[in-house]
Structure 1
Amino acid sequence: MTRIIAILSAILVIALCGAIYVVTMGRGADDRFAQCRASAVAGGAGQIGGPFTLVDETGQTVTDVDVIDEPTLIYFGYTYCPDICPYDAARNAEAVTILEEQGKIVKPVFISIDPERDTPEQLADFTDYLHPRMLGLTGSPEQVAAASKAYRTYFKKQPSEDGDDYYLVDHSTFSYLTLPGEGFVEFFRRDIPADKMAEQIGCFLDAM
């Protein structure tokens, strides 16, 4: 009797392992970008991204459909940021330039989380300096908050003792790769160098 129970237990374990293998391998097979992914999102990539309505550098209202019409690298920051944002945006611009040299086009996008100060004109000056194709987006506080929520980013204006025009904004620092028809596919932390970022993005572009 004990031997029978042992055999049945072994069969159950084998069956369970087989089921896990089929499920996990099946998911990998269905994901054409599996070999490119270096990060994981709780709940899946579908938890990040979505519709938004913002204002571009010319003052025109645009939607996510207008913006993500080609592979797009999105960053949330603000032009008055003293150090982090300029560095991250410049790193993104460098990665995009590396890809351009390989014949791969990615649109760099900078979404302001400081709509009080970041006018379309202010954004144009900032993005034009970093890359000729970088697109700056702003909007009403409500529009910016909705876009930030869609991409699960964080930002919070800090009080200032130097007057209303001099304040910092705490914010998250991820960059998001989004593809037309696919949406969000990968995020990049700020410690990744431009060449490595370009390599990973290139993998996604090759798999499209």
Structure 2
Amino acid sequence: MTYLFRRFAFLALGLSLALPLAACGRQGADESPPLEGAAIGGPFTLVDKHGKTVTWDSFKGRWRIVYFGYTFCPDACPLDVQAMMRGFALFEKSHAAQAAKVQPIFISIDPERDTPEVVGEWTGAFGPRLLGLTGTPAQVKQAAAAFATPYSKGPETAGGYLMDHGRFAFLMDPDGKPIAILATDKGPDAVAADLAKWVK
């Protein structure tokens, strides 16, 4: 088991233990973020659809939603990102000022096929606010490691290959600290509620 997958396993275990406890604890405005203090997020250098260099520090002072996936994904990524961006649109409709401070980000874990142009075209289908990023294999590996997101390339088939990867939409605060994992599995309304709860 690699370091990255060990780290992911510990993260998953920690979340499974912490979330039920949080549900039984205090609620309200003073509730602590579920991912407070977690070792998630960190420096990376990638490129956008224009080939322009983008770093983690490029987003200083802004809330960020970060999702790792790939454009050739047949099901999980489109469903997750659709829920994420539809939820963001609902949040934007009711909380325009807060939404203006949020940058949704999609980072490809398949740099072999996901060129800047391909990523830009794919993310554009989910709305103009979603920023697509990719990079060299080394750059992508660094970014995924910073977010404790495992990924691996599947076997080659007649139809190409698939990528295994973690399916988390991380909400990060303006200082780049982890706040919560958005409930993309529960649909747009749940994502919008999460954003309304934490983004101030």
Short-chain TM bin: 0.7 to 0.9
| Contiguous gaps of at least 5 residues in structure 1 | 1-27
TM-score where L is the length of structure 2 = 0.78
Task: Say which of 142, 146, 156 aligns to 2:142.
Answer: 146
Task: Say which of 176, 193, 199 aligns to 1:199.
Answer: 193
C-alpha root-mean-square deviation of aligned residues, in Å? 2.2
Are 1:36 and 1:203, in contact at CA under 8 Å, matched by a contact in 2? no
Task: Say which of 57, 62, 72 aligns to 1:70.
Answer: 62
C-alpha distance in 2, partners of 1:180/1:99? 18
Q: How far has the Cα of 1:140 moved from its partner?
A: 0.5
Residue 135 of structure 1 pairs with residue 159 of structure 2: no
Q: How far has the Cα of 1:68 moved from its partner?
A: 5.0
Query: Which residue of the partner structure matches residue 81 of structure 2?
Result: 89
Q: How far has the Cα of 1:46 moved from its partner?
A: 3.6
- CA deviation string 1:65-113 (max 9, x = no partner): 1145421111000000001101111111111101110213122110000
Q: Is the partner of 1:130 in helix, strand or coil?
A: coil
Q: Which has the higher contact order (CA 8 A, sep 6+)?
A: 2
Query: Which residue of the partner structure matches residue 177 of structure 1?
Result: 171
Are 1:36 and 1:204, in contact at CA under 8 Å, matched by a contact in 2? no
Are 2:184 and 2:190, in contact at CA under 8 Å, matched by a contact in 1? no
C-alpha distance in 2, partners of 1:86/1:34? 34
Are 2:37 and 2:178, in contact at CA under 8 Å, matched by a contact in 1? yes
| Contiguous gaps of at least 5 residues in structure 2 | 1-24
Are 1:128 and 1:134, in contact at CA under 8 Å, matched by a contact in 2? yes
Structure 2 counterpart of 1:95, one-letter code: G
Structure 2 counterpart of 1:122, one-letter code: V
Structure 1 counterpart of 2:132, one-letter code: G
C-alpha distance in 1, partners of 2:122/2:109? 14
Q: Is the partner of 2:123 in helix, strand or coil?
A: helix
Structure 1 counterpart of 2:166, one-letter code: S
C-alpha distance in 1, partners of 2:90/2:114? 28
- Between the two proteins, the alignment pairs up a number of residues equal to 171
- Worse-matched range after superposition: 132-141 or 176-185: 176-185
Task: Say which of 110, 118, 131 aligns to 1:114.
Answer: 110
TM-score where L is the length of structure 1 = 0.75
Q: Percent identity, aligned pairs only?
A: 39
Query: Which residue of the partner structure matches residue 47 of structure 1?
Result: 39
C-alpha distance in 2, partners of 1:168/1:100? 33
Are 1:68 and 1:178, in contact at CA under 8 Å, matched by a contact in 2? no
Are 1:33 and 1:204, in contact at CA under 8 Å, matched by a contact in 2? no
